[in-house]
Amino acid sequence: MDRNSLVGFGLIFLILIGYYWFTRPSEAELATQQRRRDSIERVESAKAKAQAAMKADTLKNTAAAAPAAPDTVSLRRELGGFATALEGKEERFTIENDKLAVTLSNKGGRIGSVRLKEFQRSDSSELVLFDQEHSSFYYEFFTNNGSMRTDQCYWQVLSQSKDAISFRLSDGQGSSIVQQYKLSKGDYLVDYSLQLDSMNMVVLKNRPDLKLVWESTLPKQERDVKRERETSTIYYRMPEENPEYISEMSYEEKELKARLQWVSFKQQFFNSTLIAHDNFDKDARLSTREVKGTNQQLVKTMRAELYLPYDLAAQKNFSMHFFFGPNHFQTLNKVDVGLPDLELHRIIPLGWGIFRWVNRYIVIPVFNFLDDYIGNYGVIILLLTFIIRILLLPLVFKSYKSTAKMRLLKPELDAIKEKYNGDLQKSQVESLALYRKAGVSPMSGCIPLLLQMPVLIALFQFFPSSFELRQKAFLWAHDLSQFDSIYNFPGGFHLPGYGNHISLFTLLMTLSTLATTYINNQLTGVTGQMKWLGYVMPVIFMGVLNSYAAGLNYYYFVSNMVGMGQQWLFKTMVDEKKLHAQMEANRKKPASAKTGFQKRMEDMMKQQRELQAKKQQGKKK
């Protein structure tokens, strides 16, 4: 592998290492998270003991036909006129369209579970985004008697059809709350509204807070729960701003003083999002928590505490939408709830800055075009690789010619180093002069390679996030969005820096990279540390990419093979004798003006020589 290629791959490697370094939680963050978990465990333990003691007291009093337990009395007092709704029988109802089956409960009048009809989990079971056992959704507000939670009450069903349902909670004195849910054909959206009627007579005047609490422990959908945990988090958006998120690699809590337009519980390939038409009020609190125990069927617990801007109006309607669906770019980009661009597609990690731009406006359109005509995604990746290689061909060819020129100058450069053995500055000055006379720029090979990096890094983000590859098989890979394992180590053995399995596409990618390195080393004559670095880096990448999507490693393998073909083609196209003759002709021409870069380099070296000379004179004195 030539020097310029090694520099480029080195920069890519450093960027990837930097990405993992800066996104990992710090020691202080880890300590804070541990303290928070310990605190929660202490509170829950104390709560459990208190509940056990209260239950024991209740059991002692029931034999004597004592009145209702103190907690029930307190709860009835807090609920006031709504206390009659404490008693009832839970019933569940289902509304559905061609995309969703939404199950709701009259206990709290809330969504209990959502099933996506078009998709399955990795084990071929029904894909349920969340269930009632591991989720909650309720409103909390203050009354003259205390605080009230809507999930403590049994709601009355006002109306129900195949695709719509509404629940009502009344205090019997004219104040009521209505929740309405409606589905539309061919849509992942659920129209949702909360209607308050004369609740200003109930809600405490100096505490008109209307708090919405939404929590869900997300179930595993994909084969690799570790990877799914690393790609699941909460996204949120402030109006007219780019969405932000809690780091996927940590568990933390965020308190936000800004208004929010939407909040999304995002998994690797699916999401549950709540959108408010008039935005949520300030003082939101978002948090992600680790699943306790060793349950490998649960991913993360996500919690959002939001506030609705209630102004104590006699009649108030809050219009919202739920989105329950896939992290598919076109689907999210087309979500229409009557608001300006929601930027929901930004929950898909396509990279930042120019890398996202490359994915959105080049890679995704080309991929979708091929998808319209070809049904095999392995073939689509193959053709995408050829197209990208063709687009980058001018840059790659320019880099090859620069490398060829440097190779032709190498004997003379080695002679200069030998002539000024030990004097690095003089050697560099003479080398720059040689480059200028021959019409060669030492940077001309690096710049084309650097210009290719946005595409390489963009694709590194694209393939693991591409919903289209989910559960799509190719050759021995059963799912191109997951790693392809041809052998799992027995007994749970885990090789540090590599993993617990062998990915064949990763091996092929590594071997093809090593082969490319060997061929280039033979052509360029690279020696010493640079030579061995070219062999070490692919092995490092093998460990990093062993658990990445098979589609990504397959792309790298095909790209390497195409790259070797291009090298052979360039070798037949470039006549090195003519190239050398051209360089010799350049030397005979009058000396061209120095470039700004060359002048700055020579000035800097001159200053260094003068500084060293002064130091040596000072030592003699």
CATH code assigned at 304: 2.70.98.90
Range from 160-174, 253-267, 340-354, 384-398 carrying the lowest mean pLDDT? 384-398
Whether 45 is in a domain gets the answer no
Question: What pLDDT does 445 receive?
Answer: 59
In a domain, 101, yes or no: yes
Is 360 found in the same domain as 504?
yes
List the strands of the sheet with 210-219, edge to edge: 146-149, 135-143, 210-219, 298-308, 284-289, 253-256
**Identity of the highest mean pLDDT range in 40-44, 346-350, 617-621:** 346-350
Helical segments of 63-169, H only: 70-79
Residue 423, in any domain of the structure:
yes
454 confidence band (pLDDT: 50, 70, 90): confident
Q: Which one-letter DSSP state was computed for residue 352? A: S
- Are the C-beta atoms of 355 and 461 separated by less than 8 Å? yes
- In order of 60, 118, 298, the CA distances from 131 in angstroms are 36, 18, 11
Buried b (16+ CB within 10 A) or exposed e, 83-116: bebeeeeeeeeebebebbbbbbbbbbbbbbbbbb
Domain boundary among 348, 377, 394: 348
33-42, 53-62, 338-347, 473-482: the lowest-pLDDT one: 53-62
Tokens of 379: 């073939």
* Predicted confidence band of residue 10 (pLDDT cuts 50, 70, 90): low
**Residue 167 shares a structural domain with residue 249:** yes
What number is the average pLDDT over the span 353-380?
Answer: 93
**In contact, 500 and 488? CB cutoff 8 Å:** yes
Domain limits for position 490: 3-23+356-583
State the DSSP string of 71-95.
HHHHHHHHHGGGGGGGS----EEEE
Q: Phi and psi of 482, rounded to 5°? A: -120, 170
Return the H-helix or E-strand segment holding 407: helix 393-419
Contact, 377 vs 474, CB < 8 A?
yes
pLDDT value of residue 442 = 65
Whole-angstrom distance, CA of residue 280 vs CA of residue 362: 35
Q: Are residues 431 and 562 in the same domain?
A: yes
pLDDT (0 to 100) of residue 307: 94
The partner residues of 138 in beta bridges, in order of sequence, read 213
pLDDT for 22 = 47
Question: Does 344 share its domain with 421?
Answer: no
Residue 541 banded pLDDT, cuts 50, 70, 90: confident
What are the pLDDT digits (tens) for 389-423? 888 888 888 777 777 777 777 777 777 777 777 66
- 23: confidence class by pLDDT, cuts 50, 70, 90: very low
| Residue at 517 is within a domain | yes
Question: What confidence tier does 330 reach under pLDDT thresholds 50, 70, 90?
Answer: very high
pTM here is 0.78
User: Residue 579: pLDDT band by 50, 70, 90 thresholds?
Assistant: confident
Least confident of 168-177, 290-299, 331-340, 476-485: 290-299
Q: Report the pLDDT averaged over residues 465-479.
A: 93
Does residue 614 lie within any of the structural domains?
no
Confidence of residue 619 (pLDDT cuts 50, 70, 90): low
pLDDT reading at 45 higher than 80: no
pLDDT for 363:
93
Residue 67: pLDDT band by 50, 70, 90 thresholds? very low
Q: How confident is the model at residue 483 (pLDDT cuts 50, 70, 90)?
A: very high
pLDDT value of position 451:
74
Write down the mean pLDDT value for the chain. 82
Place 370 in a pLDDT band, splitting at 50, 70 and 90.
very high
- Are both 329 and 260 inside the same structural domain? yes
Q: What is the pLDDT of residues 581-616, one digit of tens each?
A: 777 776 666 655 555 555 665 566 566 666 666 666
| pLDDT tens per residue, range 333-347 | 999 998 888 999 999
Domain boundary among 348, 378, 410: 348
Percent of the chain with pLDDT over 70: 76
Average pLDDT of span 25-50? 52
Across 76-90, 173-187, 294-308, 487-501, least confident range:
76-90
* Length, in residues, of the chain: 621
> Checking DSSP bridges between strand 146-149 and strand 135-143, what pairing results, if any?
antiparallel
pLDDT higher at 463 or 446: 463
> How far apart are the C-alpha atoms of 520 and 535, rounded to whole Å?
11
Mean pLDDT of 256-266: 94
Q: Which residue has the tokens 């319209």?
A: 372
Q: Is residue 375 part of a domain?
A: yes
* 199 in the same domain as 88: yes
Per-residue model confidence (pLDDT) at position 527: 64
DSSP per-residue string spanning 386-406: HHHHHHTHHHHHHHHHHHHHH
Answer whether 92's CB lies under 8 Å from 72's CB.
Answer: no
Domain-located, residue 79: yes
According to DSSP H, which parts of 80-230 are helical? 225-230
Residue 481, pLDDT score: 93
For 190-234, what is each residue's pLDDT tens digit?
999 999 999 988 888 888 889 999 999 999 999 999 999 999 999
Overall average pLDDT of the 316-335 stretch: 95
Same domain membership, residue 329 and residue 374: no
Amino acid at 530: M
* CB 273, CB 323: distance < 8 Å: yes
CA 81 vs CA 78, 105, 211, 307: distances in Å: 9, 22, 20, 24
- For residues 144 and 261, membership in a common domain is answered with yes
Residue 68's pLDDT band, with cuts at 50, 70 and 90, is very low
Of 326, 219, 210, the C-alpha closest to 273 is 326
Please state the domain count of the chain. Answer: 2
Residues 502 and 532 reside in one and the same domain: yes
| 176, 235: one domain | yes
Structure confidence at residue 44 as a pLDDT band (50, 70, 90): low
Q: 270 and 369 share a domain?
A: no
Judge whether 42 lies within some domain.
no
Q: What is the mean pLDDT of residues 316-344?
A: 94
Domain boundary among 291, 323, 348: 348
Are 416 and 549 within one domain? Answer: yes
